[in-house]
Chain A
Amino acid sequence: MIEFHLDNRSGVPAYLQLVQQVRHAIRLGMLRPGDQLPTVKQVVTSLTVNPNTVLHAYRQLDLEGLVEGRQGVGTFVAADSVPLPPDEVRSLRSSLDRWVSRARGAGLDDESISALIAEAVRPASESRVA
């Protein structure tokens, strides 16, 4: 089980925040195949969020094959959902740590560092932004 959170100021639609949090949890192994997601009612009342927002997020995750809804039972992480290889993630993370300390050493502040990273990953996600 995971606990969702919503950031009203992020500019990312609420349903997409839920989708991203599930994707993230699956990738990092916090959610494993067969794990149950919170029910729609649980998410609605813990976040005070519109039920259709949650349904929309779960439908999207279902379309992506990451979760499967079982009628009357709940929504579960799909059996074939694959987390990122943990060793690879660890190694990427430590090289990123080295890069960040190099950037700090060069006098970049956190905002500039985030901007650089955002710029580097932008081409991959640009198709999403209008």
Chain B
Amino acid sequence: MSSEFAVRTNALGKRYAATWALRDCTLEIPTGSVTALVGPNGAGKTTLLHLVIGLAKQTCGVVEVLGLSPRDQANELLPRLGFVAQDHPLYRGLTIAETFKLGRQLNRRWNESLATARVGRLGLKMSQKVGSLSGGQQAQVALTLALAKEPELLVLDEPVASLDPLARREFLNAVLEAAVESGVSVILSSHIVSELERVCDYLVTLADGRQQLVGPIREIVASHRLLTGPRSDAASVARVHNVIRESHIGRQTTLLVRANGHVYDTCWEQHEVDLEEIVLAYLGYMPGSGIPTPTLPEMVAQ
């Protein structure tokens, strides 16, 4: 059974004691997309992922994954999900062969030839102990475990945060290759936005437990512009377009807008903006407070 959406939520919320880790989350992630789930640490990314795979139970609202309820239809859903947790935990004392044996016995669906072929391509031996592998290699073994299930949805929690740039490239390549070969939908969380613009095609931004910017990345990038011009207030632009951020320095005003159609006003010079700058503008933007306080989000520091 295939559904149009890999994940669909409606007014989804999760509260731990008195604290809401996630609230009012309503989104639809299309099947076949590679989705970036971004936001600062503590934004609710892991909570949302845990609700998706049924590891946590929501306080309110609805979550549907591949058309199924992760908690009530877990038996049907779990064989179709691949999950790699943060820091890709594995049994360090086991060899790769033993790790795969475990995978074979714990999973209803298991593609042994896919798993061994991947190990060969990585230049690893089945007899190697997992604990003796580099961080990048362990991440690849964890990914192999998830892919051998031949999942329809692959959920990766901060998969590349701990990897060096080369290992990060190789890991993302392996994920994208799987997406081409099997059409698996992918959701990966990250606090590094810069490299995701290329890798992902759908974006979910969380901050402080609330969703901010959600949608196809190509549309998001195409609709946002940076306008610079002589100092003025943003009111005339704001009548037509959504002003996400405004700043005034000296005689110049800079606006980051989500344009509704074309910006015709010729007193503004228009520039393209990349995804990272757009995301940061949304994370720093407080509705109703006008100019956001210039805090440097953790995302930049990382």
Residues of A within 8 A of B (CB): 6, 8, 11-15, 40-41, 44-45, 47-53, 56, 129-130
A130 CB, min distance to chain B CBs, angstroms: 5
Stretch of B149-157, B175-183, B248-256 that contacts chain A: B175-183
With A41-B180, A44-B180, A130-B270: A49-B198 Cβ-Cβ less than 8 Å: yes
Q: A45 vs B199: C-alpha distance in the bound complex, in angstroms?
A: 10
Chain A residues near B271: list those with CB within 8 A. 11
- 13 residue pairs bridging A and B, Cβ less than 8 Å apart: A8-B194, A11-B271, A44-B180, A48-B173, A48-B198, A49-B199, A50-B198, A50-B199, A51-B34, A52-B33, A52-B34, A130-B225, A130-B261
Does any Cβ of A come within 8 Å of B4's Cβ?
no
Q: A6 vs B197: C-alpha distance in the bound complex, in angstroms?
A: 12
Which residue of chain A is the closest to B176 with respect to CB atoms?
A44
Does any Cβ of A come within 8 Å of B218's Cβ?
yes
State the 4 A-B residue pairs at the shortest beta-carbon distance, nearest first.
A11-B272, A130-B262, A41-B180, A52-B201
Q: A130 vs B269: C-alpha distance in the bound complex, in angstroms?
A: 11
Evaluate contact between B179 and A51: CB separation under 8 angstroms. Answer: yes
Evaluate contact between B180 and A47: CB separation under 8 angstroms. Answer: no
Chain A residues near B218: list those with CB within 8 A. 13, 15, 56
Evaluate contact between A51 and B176: CB separation under 8 angstroms. Answer: yes
Chain B residues near A56: list those with CB within 8 A. 218
Q: Which of A8, A12, A13, A50 has the most CB of B within 10 A?
A: A50
Chain B residues near A49: list those with CB within 8 A. 176, 198-199
Evaluate contact between B180 and A14: CB separation under 8 angstroms. Answer: no
Q: A115 vs B183: C-alpha distance in the bound complex, in angstroms?
A: 44
Chain A residues near B197: list those with CB within 8 A. 8, 14
Evaluate contact between B176 and A40: CB separation under 8 angstroms. Answer: no
Does any Cβ of A come within 8 Å of B115's Cβ?
no
Evaluate contact between B274 and A50: CB separation under 8 angstroms. Answer: no
Chain B residues near A41: list those with CB within 8 A. 177, 180-181
